[in-house]
Amino acid sequence: MTATLQTLPRRVFTVQEGQALQVLDALLGRGRGDVVTVPVALSPLGDDLAAAGARRIATSVMRFLVEGGGWRERALLRGGRRVRARAWDPAAGSGFVPRYTAASRTLWIEGAAQLPALVGQSRTDASRGARRAVKRVVPDQSTEVGDWVFFHLAQQSLGTFRLCEDDFTGLRLRLVSQSPVALLFAPVGERSRRELRDAYVRLTSPSTARVLECIEDRLAGAWTSAARTLWAERMTGSLAARIERWATLGRKLDAYLDAVDDAERLDLARPVTKLAAALMTGVFAVPAEEVRSSLSQSSGVVSLAQRDELLAAVASVAAVGQRVFALRERMAGERYGDARYAEAQVFMGDVDALLGVQRRAVEGLARSLSGVIG
């Protein structure tokens, strides 16, 4: 007897609906943004298309979180207790589900309606119409954790739309302003340490901290890559730009530590600890004196003031290792039964495992860059 296989009916989308999904795929990093060059206006949005888009967004966000570190077993803090689990496991996840608002649908639908008209334009600045279009794609709105990850994926993928520089920058700034996840990764230098800290704190609540646990590998990798690129470019490009980029990275690292410490979640400091270790073993893979000497001879350095400004900017990044050790010493004072005891145990274990053997090198580099002798 043979069984009859029945397939579920599949919705066939129109050409316009298919193009809207192509734009969504581009925003999610699954395709190119310049393949659709005709604006796609969909009103009203059909239920089947809305469901298909929502599934694509949710699947891409979940993949980003799981593959970014959610799959890896490690020490986690749960309800004031230390457990060993994977961040995405149901028990360890404590029912965590990324939440979305209308902002994600707006980014998709308005992106399909506005961005194709901006593809490949050679303008050097934004027109009034382009600015209005960018604001329609990312209007002022409230967002949730699922939106934050989607917005980060979108800001990473904007290059495939071949927008003019002003449109690209304007859209990325709007995405970053509404997503603390995007802000962690984006090279945005205009924000103060306090402003960054306030944004990052939104990622430390019980309902959002799972995101940080899932992306710690990606985050440490992105920060390490930024430092490695800056070190490799020390003999090229604008000195002022390099100084600003080093200082921006240092501000970002300090703000992140401020946020997780203020939230009493130093167990979430792993990305910074991993970066501090990578600085010693991969980025500055030469003695501290050579690092200082090489920076002093960087392209564009023609005065002591410029040298000192550059060294201070680089030191703001290198000094994060010293700060991690200082926090470890402070947390060592937590005793069994204290409010932060479990947090301290996870944090100190991470520091010892990832950075412990590098302590002398960390302190030596900080002294060398700051000009301290001995």
Judged by DSSP in three states, 74 sits in strand
What span, in angstroms and rounded, lies between the C-alpha atoms of 110 and 370? 49
Looking at residue 188, its pLDDT comes to: 75
**CA-wise closest residue to 111 among 160, 76, 71:** 160
Backbone dihedral region for residue 29 (phi beyond 0: left; psi -120 to 50: alpha; all else: beta)? left
H or E element, residue 84: strand 81-86
What span, in angstroms and rounded, lies between the C-alpha atoms of 204 and 260? 7
Q: What are phi and psi of 206, to 5 degrees?
A: -55, -30
Looking at residue 217, its pLDDT comes to: 93
Q: Do the beta carbons of residue 23 and residue 42 sit within 8 Å?
A: no
What span, in angstroms and rounded, lies between the C-alpha atoms of 254 and 174? 23
Place of tokens 């970002």: 252
What span, in angstroms and rounded, lies between the C-alpha atoms of 63 and 234? 36
Looking at residue 121, its pLDDT comes to: 83
Q: How far is CA 124 from CA 38, 131, 223, in A?
A: 22, 13, 30
Token couple for 24:
């969504």
What span, in angstroms and rounded, lies between the C-alpha atoms of 366 and 321? 9
Q: Do the beta carbons of residue 57 and residue 141 sit within 8 Å?
A: no
Instruction: For helices 239-262 and 209-232, give the axis angle rounded to 10 degrees.
Output: 160
Domain range annotation of the chain? 15-182, 193-370
DSSP state of 13: P
DSSP state of 280: I
DSSP state of 3: P
What span, in angstroms and rounded, lies between the C-alpha atoms of 136 and 91? 40
Give Cβ neighbours of residue 8 (< 8 Å, ≥ 6 apart).
Answer: none
Place of tokens 């990798």: 221
Looking at residue 7, its pLDDT comes to: 46
Looking at residue 178, its pLDDT comes to: 95
Local mean pLDDT, 10-residue blocks, the chain (374 residues): 44 87 96 92 89 96 89 82 80 76 96 92 73 92 96 96 92 95 88 95 92 94 96 93 96 98 96 96 91 94 96 96 97 95 96 95 91 61
DSSP H helical ranges for the chain: 15-27, 47-65, 90-93, 102-114, 128-137, 145-157, 165-177, 180-185, 193-201, 209-232, 239-262, 270-278, 288-296, 304-318, 320-331, 341-354, 359-370
Looking at residue 10, its pLDDT comes to: 58
pTM: 0.90
Looking at residue 6, its pLDDT comes to: 47
Looking at residue 260, its pLDDT comes to: 98
**CA-wise closest residue to 97 among 178, 201, 208, 202:** 208
